[in-house]
Amino acid sequence: MTAAEIVNKLDLQVFSGENGLNRKVSGGYVSDLLSDVMGNADEGQVWITLQTHKNVMAIASLKELAAVILVNGNKPDEDTARQSNEEEIPLLGTSMSAFEITGKLYELIKK
Amino acid sequence: MGEKIADQYSVTGGDFSRAGYASSQIKKSLKKLGVDMAIIKRTVVATYEGEVNIVAHAWSGKIVFAVDDEKIRIVLEDEGPGIEDIEQAMEEGFSTATSEIREMGFGAGMGLPNMKKNADHLHVESEVGKGTRVEITMHLN
């Protein structure tokens, strides 16, 4: 499954990083603690979080994540979106809570 | 490999907009050298945590990166408040970060433990009121 398919099936907003929508998604990780994601997320995963600052993209890039989903209608900071474009890692959004979007994403990619 | 690399990056305390830059450059260098991906991943986690520690706690610092045939060595040296009790700082969950830093999702007390978990060898020395020196060693063979 690609990030683009997840955007379509879960009706997500694409803030930036469109050039990375063909990235393959291997799973997901949910956390708002940056060191937790740094230590425990893995390449190709989608990161679900409420953090909107630029360091999110630094971590997404270092960990080679497939995409980031901001929950609860949160919008990225301007420099966060800019770095997502540079790194070509999609920055996505939903009005759903972390709980809801995680459940839906899990259903979608477990098959 | 045979090729040797040595680089140095400066880090400014409090500048979170640049946090991760040195780690990202080091990752690129290691990829270019063809270092095993599993080793690169662990090196990146340890280096990033050390870089963020300088940004979050120190006034200024530098990261010195060197690779030879046998090992990767990364030394993170800062001028800053230092660590009073290194053993306590190594405990998961212990943190002296400010509330602003915690709101960003940093300062959960996972930095040094993450470094310890991912580095082949980690050495920390610190002098209160002066600064901290952290040395990460990764074996290549």
Q: Which residue does chain B place closest to A58, by CA atoms? A: B20
Residue B71 lies in a domain: yes
Q: Which residues of B touch A55 (CB under 8 A)?
A: 16, 19-20, 104-106
Q: Do B24 and A58 touch (CB under 8 A)?
A: yes
Please give the residue range of the domain that contains residue B82: 15-139
Q: Which residues of B touch A51 (CB under 8 A)?
A: 104-105
Residue B4 lies in a domain: no
The CATH number given to whatever domain includes residue B63 is 3.30.565.10
Nearest to B19 among A33, A55, A63 (CB): A55
pLDDT, tens digit, for every residue of B20-79?
A: 999 999 999 999 999 999 999 999 999 999 999 999 999 999 999 999 999 999 999 999
Please give the residue range of the domain that contains residue A16: 3-110
Residue B118 lies in a domain: yes
Helix (H, G, I), strand (E, B) or coil at A25: coil
Q: Which residue has 């520690």 as its token pair?
A: B53
Nearest to A56 by CA among A92, A96, A25: A92
pLDDT, tens digit, for every residue of A22-41?
A: 999 999 999 999 999 999 99
DSSP assignment of B3-25 equals --EEEEEEEETT-GGGTTHHHHH
φ, ψ of residue B134 to 5 degrees: the values are: -120, 130
The CATH number given to whatever domain includes residue A70 is 3.40.1390.20
Interface of A with B (CB under 8 A): 32-36, 38-39, 43, 49, 51, 53-55, 58-59, 61-63, 79
What's the confidence (pLDDT) of residue B5?
A: 82
Chain A contact present for B24, CB below 8 A: yes
- pLDDT bin (cut points 50, 70, 90) of residue A110 is confident
pLDDT, tens digit, for every residue of A50-77?
A: 999 999 999 999 999 999 999 999 999 9
Query: How many structural domains does chain B have?
Result: 1
φ, ψ of residue B71 to 5 degrees: the values are: -155, 160
Residue B1 lies in a domain: no
Residue B97 lies in a domain: yes
